[in-house]
Structure 1
């Protein structure tokens, strides 16, 4: 619109130069995202606002994106004004400075200093993302239908709750970084997920447990990690190591190898990743019990109201191993360059940890674990999750793109804390350690009005069965959303 306004002025008064204010407005609304740069430093970000309808919804929370996967607290039909359905809103600062120019040293040609820091927030509530606080606010509620949206995640109120790293890049030798970074598995989901890890339309976007956390959503981002990425011809590879501590339990490591197709396989891209995490933490809300049972608010000697402001959480700790293979194929070889098919498979195995965390341990965001109920022996036999997805993206016009995807999770029957699954039926009576499934299907359209402003709409349906439906009042949910994004 700003561009049209400037053009109209020029046509009406041919001798009049565009005003400075017109140029500024045009830059803000129709400039290219990620170009607000000076001296090698770029400020960038996204604002995503959403209107939502759910047939079994939850009241929105100011601390998380939204609750799109059906859960124990899913209840009555609900309309809501919320945010971040398509993309997490964030503000970031990115740096890329060539060292030969910085130090006037030709011998450093090809080397660059690089860094990136991101802070995710909820624009509808003007609050920084803090999923652990959403769990605290649910302490003692039993997560019954009508309880506000809550979940664990890797974003728990940190100032830089996305990535926050610095490193060096060389045009031939690759890239070496240190700091808080995506796991390599999450990097792959960002690349290969048909719905681009969207919170409202992608299972691996709404849940880091399946989407890069190796079974524990807090581990989708790794604190204090070293990551190396390189490439030789059509092949690329990466390795990452995380030092123990920093609110994320033990050490972790993962490796990735990928290949871009060529010749008759042009348009094909594949990636395989393997990773392991020691002492992965899955936080949860405290329970309510008149008998002062371990893990309840009453066991801490406080009222239910006070319990929701304690910054104390229960947790399950495990050693997790995951591997995946993902890929895409663009159909340009058969005359359809605007269509790309995507899919992948991930296997997650969760076992009792080989070591325990010290009493009083604080997880990410400085939330304290309640050690009376925190368990290190949940998995007498391994809990195994099979995650798979398939879908496609279609660039209908230069400004209009459509996407559709199906996601699924299969869980085995495992022995939990010495108790095996004893009622492997379906429905809400099934125990949590019984075999179960999750199914998620979604479709979206996105129209790019200007280079920075787009409007989207979509529909998704989620359903849980077996062990995944333990204690649920409803086992399915429809999410219908419309929204707008502004990128700068």
Structure 2
């Protein structure tokens, strides 16, 4: 952590000195030599990787686990294990999931190209593949004060827990890919989230609920085909999956997308339908030492609309660039605004699931009541709203601010409605709010440093089950109706 702070201070002092002397701010970046080539490509195959490491302080969290060693950054989660403990720790993947993979773009003939991608996320602090499902089993049946970090995830130790697909692309006819792929919804929010799906600073990044149309495990679809077509400024896409056990979605799913751009404006609307999606329950619902996972099953319907506008503001002051030729070589400052809305409807599955596996092959608990096919006796509705702004200076610094809000209705779970209200049950109405601020300084194409802060709060039904609320288990019940946490994170990211 000390080294990170020293590097950040050194960068800040050089930037200040550069501006004080009224010299080219690119001179600051030029002192940081980039030893890496622009890309590692051979015969149309490109190796890529991201390593994201840093340090963090959190006002209300849980100790790091041996499986999920990063923080549970926000309280919009199934784990509900925040007990007021502050955490200071090394962390990872705050801006972006640390990962390694390859992508393919090889011209064939007549304008056709073979395309593909394979990547997997890993924990650089333990050397293990990302495995959220294992982290829940590690905490199965433990009281909150004994739990460490754990989280539901579609990354559950698979060899390729990110994506794995291949296909064909043609500028005239579009792109068709088949395999394990991001849902169209996940692709969409990735393009229109001001925080670019950051785990530490974005609800949309840390929680897979929005990208999975209600179910984290369905954010990436196995056994899927995706087609995307560009017609001038218009883009359209369609996606289908036949689902199956061990995929996060037992039934089929389909999605539609239409988007477009004009000048600095771009927008997109999505529609998604999923059948038999997996929603893992909190670890406290599993028996101590359990090797199976308790889960709810749902049919999900989602529609969303999102947009952004970018202004090109010109380069830095003419005093720094005395010749027109030098100014022409200088990229522009940019200012972007973002906004989006997602409506998620979860209902009981039309085809009940009685047994099977979650993502990564983890066996679901099978009993008279599990998997739970009646967790949404009446539909659960989540409404996501987000907005943000980002200013990018041509010399490498960007500053981003974002706000996220979620509203949950009062619904009936397992035939039992919310009666007492407040945080008495998880199916009572509730809200989530988060505000984040991030500064990121790109020193080269392959290296950047960052620092930021975020504050998040859940109330009423979305806070139920946390220690100190009426819905808490194992003797930790109380009268509270809200839970909040603040996180401060700094780090660096290396990309090839």
TM-score range, shorter chain: 0.7 to 0.9
CA distance in 2 between partners of 1:286 and 1:121 (Å): 22
- Give CA deviations for 1:337-364 in whole Å, capped at 9, x if unaligned: 61000010000000000002243x1111
Once structures 1 and 2 are overlaid, which stretch shifts more, 408-417 or 145-154? Answer: 145-154
Match of 1:189 in 2: 189
Aligned mates of 1:145, 1:471 — CA distance in 2: 14
Equivalent of residue 338 in structure 1, options 318, 326, 334: 334
Partner residue, 2:19: none
Contact 2:255/2:272 (<8 A) preserved: yes
5 Å matches for 1:2-401? Answer: 28-29=35-36, 31-32=37-38, 35-64=39-68, 65-70=70-75, 72-75=80-83, 76-100=85-109, 109-142=110-143, 144-145=144-145, 147-210=147-210, 212-247=211-246, 248-261=249-262, 266-285=263-282, 287=284, 296-297=286-287, 304=288, 306-307=289-290, 310=291, 312-332=292-312, 338-359=334-355, 361-372=356-367, 373-401=370-398
Contact kept? 1:280, 1:319, Cα under 8 Å: yes
1:49 and 1:483 in contact (8 A); partners too: yes
**Equivalent residue number for residue 28 of structure 2:** none
Q: Which has the larger displacement, 246-255 or 113-122?
A: 246-255
Q: 1:229 to 1:73 in 2, by over 3 A?
A: same
SS of alignment partner, residue 205 of structure 1 = helix
Query: 3-state DSSP class of the match of 1:190?
Result: helix
Residue 27 of structure 1 and its aligned partner are, at CA, apart by 6.0
Q: Tell whether the 8 Å contact from 1:280 to 1:318 is kept in structure 2 after alignment.
A: yes
Secondary structure, counterpart of 1:420 in structure 2: coil
Using a 3 Å threshold, how does the CA distance of structure 1 residues 146 and 195 change in structure 2: closer, same or farther?
farther
Alpha-carbon contact 1:120-1:128 (below 8 Å) kept: yes
Runs of 4+ that moved beyond 2 A: 25-29, 61-66, 284-287, 331-337
CA distance in 1 between counterparts of 2:235 and 2:65 reads 40
Shift of 1:331: 2.7
SS of alignment partner, residue 363 of structure 2: strand
Please tell me whether the aligned partners of residues 121 and 129 of structure 2 are also in contact (alpha carbons under 8 angstroms): yes
Could you tell me how far apart the structure 1 residues matched to 2:180 and 2:153 are? 15
Q: CA deviation at 1:430?
A: 2.6
How many positions carry a matched residue from both structures? Answer: 427
Q: CA distance change for structure 1 residues 334 and 48 in 2, over 3 Å: closer, same or farther?
A: closer
Q: Deviations over 1:71-97 (max 9, x none)?
A: 621231110111000110000111111
Residues 1:464 and 2:458 are matched in the alignment: yes
Per the TM alignment, residue 63 of structure 1 is displaced from its structure 2 partner at its CA by: 3.2
Q: Distance in 1 between matches of 2:378 and 2:457?
A: 26
The superposition leaves residues 8-47 of structure 1 with CA deviations (integer Å, 9 ceiling, x where unpaired) of: xxxxxxxxxxxxxxxxx96644x33xx1011111100100
**Secondary structure of the residue that 1:80 maps to in structure 2?**
strand
Cα displacement string for residues 287-332 of structure 1 (whole angstroms, at most 9, x for unaligned residues) = 4xxxxxxx652xxxxxx3x43xx2x100000100000000001134
| Shift of residue 280, structure 1, vs aligned partner | 0.5
In structure 1, the residue matched to 2:22 is none
- 8 Å CA contact 1:145, 1:473 repeated in 2: no
CA deviation string 1:77-125 (max 9, x = no partner): 110111000110000111111112xxxxxxxx20001110001001112
- Counterpart CA distance in 1 for 2:245 and 2:49 is 26
Per-residue deviation, residues 398-430 of structure 1 (Å, max 9, x unmatched): 3111111000100000111111111223xxx43
CA change 1:125–1:324 in 2 (3 A) is: same
Are 2:61 and 2:71, in contact at CA under 8 Å, matched by a contact in 1?
no
**SS of the residue 1:469 aligns to:** coil
Aligned residue for 1:419?
416
Kept in 1: contact 2:96–2:198 (CA 8 A): yes
Partner of 1:446: 440
Worse overlay, 68-77 or 416-425: 68-77
Q: Distance in 1 between matches of 2:172 and 2:333?
A: 30
> Taking structure 1 as reference, are residues 316 and 233 closer, same or farther at Cα in structure 2, changes over 3 Å only?
same
Alpha-carbon distance in structure 2 between the residues aligned to 1:398 and 1:333: 13
- Seen in structure 2, the aligned counterparts of structure 1 residues 327 and 55 have a Cα distance that, compared at 3 Å, is same
Is the 1:323–1:347 Cα contact (8 Å) retained in structure 2? yes
SS for the counterpart of 2:406 is strand
Stretch of structure 1 that moved more, 60-69 or 76-85: 60-69
Cα distance in 1 for partners of 2:180, 2:108 equals 23
Q: Return the alpha-carbon distance in structure 2 between the equivalents of residues 459 and 146 of structure 1.
A: 27
CA distance in 2, matches of 1:189, 1:456: 22
Contact 2:286 2:293 in 1 (8 A): no
Specify the SS of the correspondent of 2:135. helix
Query: Any idea what the Cα deviations from partners look like across 1:366-423, whole Å, max 9, x if unmatched?
Result: 1001021320011111000000100011103431111110001000001111111112
Ranges in structure 1 where 5+ consecutive residues have no aligned partner = 2-24, 101-108, 288-294, 298-303
Residue 483 (structure 1) aligns with: 491
Cα distance in 2, alignment partners of residues 126 and 455 from structure 1: 22
Determine if contact 1:73/1:146 at 8 Å carries over to the other structure.
no
